[in-house]
């Protein structure tokens, strides 16, 4: 199919059809092996551009795959064969209104850019995926992204007041807006958040901001026993309210230490990074209580600091876990979560899966949320190992579901986790997903293959 009509329907410079340039738009960070070759990549610059693309696609039954910064971890932005990749990378305006403590943001703006714009007014946009300096707000909306501070401050949906969305038939509709309370009609804003581009293309977002966070006090604790560390997490999360409660296991600690040489304890079974952002005196009290809980649970070493920079070094270590482990091989990136009392069972079960399948699984976790990221490492040239890693990937999800947990806490279902969705949410909830998708995008033009099975939708 030719794209001449698409090129001529859009202002100049929007459409890429050159195969070499399109190549980098075929994958997000999940590197889906089944990525197709798109018909065209469109870099939209306005809501009107997005409408033109969606109308063009809807009239011809072509897939539209919306794309933010391409940092997604479950293949939500994998290109579809013969479809259009609709990149929002050029739509990144940010307008902060300090009087109402809101920001109006275009979807291509990076999370870190929104944070920086808010900070200029002494304000804060809390959600902080580890990828915050290279992920887009549009992608955060698509997956209802979480992060490190979410244990105290909630996830993306908690900060979205309104959206502008281009629907599957090309109409542009404003949902919600800069009103702090609004219950007129169904909560469509919340429905579109986390819908992974399957119901509409978000072209503008109204965010709620809060006053800047106080400089945190940071505690780092290492444990010789994995069980002791997860018991400490439960003790902390059920009695305190830290602003961060992160976990790294031994393979992760070693990968980060290989990359940083910052002097982490390579023999530790687990390391926790905990922060309190209460006013100084209260933070000191909170951190002292958390330290006592760590000691009660056989912590090996405990260190705390009120110096934000010193503390940040450990947070950076935690955030660089994924790139550090990536040095060891190709990754399958998991995102399973469980109710906190089951965190120990999950972590220990993952260790057993790693042993049984003879692969390395490095586990990091937003421990206070029960949300873990097991990183399955494999050598892509070793086909047998690769297959074992894929089997283990499914087994980790099965284990999480068995423990009352979810197959994805914050990365989304995308294409990689689609086969596990029905088993987790059940046929009735899946049926509701299908009904809503069919009601809003009956042709399945928007991100087909993400989240829901196109074959089932047609039936």
**360-419 positions binding a second copy, by CB under 8 A:** 366, 368-371, 404-413, 417
Stretch of 61-69, 183-191, 246-254, 289-297 contacting a second copy, by CB under 8 A: 183-191
Q: Which of residues 148-167 bind a second copy (CB under 8 A)?
A: 150-151, 154-155, 157-158, 167
For residue 440, state whether it binds a second copy (rule: CB under 8 A).
yes
Of residues 204 and 300, the one with the C-beta less far from a second copy: 204
Minimum separation from the CB atom of position 24 to a second copy (A): 26
Query: Applying CB under 8 A, which of residues 137, 193, 205, 255 lies at the interface with a second copy?
Result: 193
For residue 339, state whether it binds a second copy (rule: CB under 8 A).
yes
- Three-state DSSP at 414 gives coil
Determine the Cα–Cα distance for residues 120 and 178; give it in Å rounded to an integer: 20
- Three-state DSSP at 164 gives strand
The size of the interface with a second copy (CB under 8 A), counted in residues, is: 84
Sequence-ordered list of residues with C-beta below 8 angstroms from that of 273, at least 6 positions apart, any chain: 218, 219, 220, 244, 245, 246, 248, 314, 315, 317, 318
Determine the Cα–Cα distance for residues 64 and 46; give it in Å rounded to an integer: 16
Minimum separation from the CB atom of position 92 to a second copy (A): 24
Query: Applying CB under 8 A, which of residues 292, 316, 432, 456 lies at the interface with a second copy?
Result: 432
Stretch of 181-189, 292-300, 318-326, 388-396 contacting a second copy, by CB under 8 A: 181-189
Of residues 226 and 234, the one with the C-beta less far from a second copy: 234
Q: Which of residues 127-146 bind a second copy (CB under 8 A)?
A: 143-144, 146
Stretch of 23-31, 218-226, 335-343, 377-385 contacting a second copy, by CB under 8 A: 335-343
For residue 424, state whether it binds a second copy (rule: CB under 8 A).
yes
CA-wise closest residue to 334 among 346, 318, 317, 320? 346
Minimum separation from the CB atom of position 392 to a second copy (A): 19
- Three-state DSSP at 24 gives helix
What does the DSSP 8-state code read for residue 1? -
Sequence-ordered list of residues with C-beta below 8 angstroms from that of 381, at least 6 positions apart, any chain: none
For residue 436, state whether it binds a second copy (rule: CB under 8 A).
yes
How much of the chain is helix, strand and coil, in % rounded to 5? Answer: 40, 20, 40
For residue 1, state whether it binds a second copy (rule: CB under 8 A).
no
Q: Quick one: tokens of 197?
A: 């581009």
Of residues 60 and 285, the one with the C-beta less far from a second copy: 285
Query: Applying CB under 8 A, which of residues 170, 216, 329, 337 lies at the interface with a second copy?
Result: 337
Stretch of 243-251, 278-286, 296-304, 318-326 contacting a second copy, by CB under 8 A: 278-286
Query: Applying CB under 8 A, which of residues 291, 391, 438, 454 lies at the interface with a second copy?
Result: 438
Q: Which of residues 214-253 bind a second copy (CB under 8 A)?
A: 234, 237-238, 241
Phi, psi (degrees; rounded to nearest 5) at 385: -65, -40
Determine the Cα–Cα distance for residues 332 and 320; give it in Å rounded to an integer: 16
DSSP E strands, 68-223: 84-87, 94-97, 102-105, 123-124, 160-166, 172-176, 201-208, 210-211, 217-223
Of residues 33 and 98, the one with the C-beta less far from a second copy: 98
Length of the chain: 459
Cβ–Cβ < 8 Å for 246, 365: yes
Minimum separation from the CB atom of position 172 to a second copy (A): 8
Q: Which of residues 82-111 bind a second copy (CB under 8 A)?
A: 98-101
Sequence-ordered list of residues with C-beta below 8 angstroms from that of 14, at least 6 positions apart, any chain: 7, 42, 43, 44, 45, 49
Of residues 211 and 380, the one with the C-beta less far from a second copy: 211
């Amino acid at each position: 199919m030719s794209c001449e009509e698409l090129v001529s329907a859009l202002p100049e410079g929007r459409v890429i059809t050159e195969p070499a340039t399109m190549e980098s738009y075929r994958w997000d960070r999940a590197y889906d092996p089944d990525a197709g070759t798109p018909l065209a990549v469109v870099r939209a610059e306005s809501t009107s551009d997005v409408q033109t693309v969606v109308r063009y696609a809807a009239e011809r039954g072509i897939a539209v795959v919306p794309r933010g910064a391409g940092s997604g971890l479950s293949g939500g932005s994998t290109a579809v064969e013969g479809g259009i990749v609709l990149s929002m990378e050029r739509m990144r305006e940010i307008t902060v209104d300090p009087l109402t403590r809101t920001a109006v943001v275009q979807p291509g703006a990076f999370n870190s850019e929104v944070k920086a714009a808010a900070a200029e007014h002494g304000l804060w946009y809390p959600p902080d995926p580890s990828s915050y300096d290279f992920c887009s707000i549009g992608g955060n909306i698509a997956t209802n992204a979480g992060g490190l501070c979410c244990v105290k401050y909630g996830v993306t949906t908690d900060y979205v007041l309104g959206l502008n969305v281009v629907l599957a038939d090309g109409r542009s509709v404003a949902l919600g807006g800069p009103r702090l309370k609004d219950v007129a009609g169904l909560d469509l804003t919340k429905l579109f958040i986390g819908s992974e581009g399957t119901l509409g293309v978000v072209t503008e977002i109204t965010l709620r901001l809060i006053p800047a966070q106080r400089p945190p006090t940071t505690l780092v604790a290492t444990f010789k026993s994995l069980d002791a560390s997860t018991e400490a997490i439960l003790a902390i999360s059920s009695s305190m309210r830290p602003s961060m409660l992160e976990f790294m296991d031994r393979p992760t600690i070693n990968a980060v230490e290989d990359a940083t040489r910052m002097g982490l304890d390579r023999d530790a079974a687990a390391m926790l990074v905990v922060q309190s952002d209460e006013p100084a005196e209260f933070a000191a009290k909170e951190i002292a209580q958390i330290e006592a809980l760590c000691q009660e649970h056989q912590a090996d070493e405990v260190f705390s600091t009120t110096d934000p920079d010193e503390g940040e070094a450990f947070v950076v270590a935690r955030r660089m876990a994924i790139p550090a482990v990536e040095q060891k091989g190709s990754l399958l990136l998991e995102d399973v979560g469980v109710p906190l009392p089951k965190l120990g069972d999950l972590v220990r079960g993952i260790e057993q899966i790693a042993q049984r399948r003879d692969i390395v699984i490095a586990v990091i976790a937003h421990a206070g949320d029960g949300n873990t990221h097991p990183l399955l490492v494999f050598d892509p040239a070793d086909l047998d190992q690769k297959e074992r890693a894929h089997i283990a990937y499914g087994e980790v999800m099965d284990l999480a579901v068995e423990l009352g947990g979810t197959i994805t806490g914050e990365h989304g279902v995308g294409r990689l986790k689609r086969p596990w969705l029905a088993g987790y949410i059940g046929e009735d909830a899946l049926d509701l997903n299908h009904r809503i998708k069919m009601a809003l995008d009956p042709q399945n033009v928007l991100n087909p293959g993400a989240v829901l099975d196109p074959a089932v939708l047609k039936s």
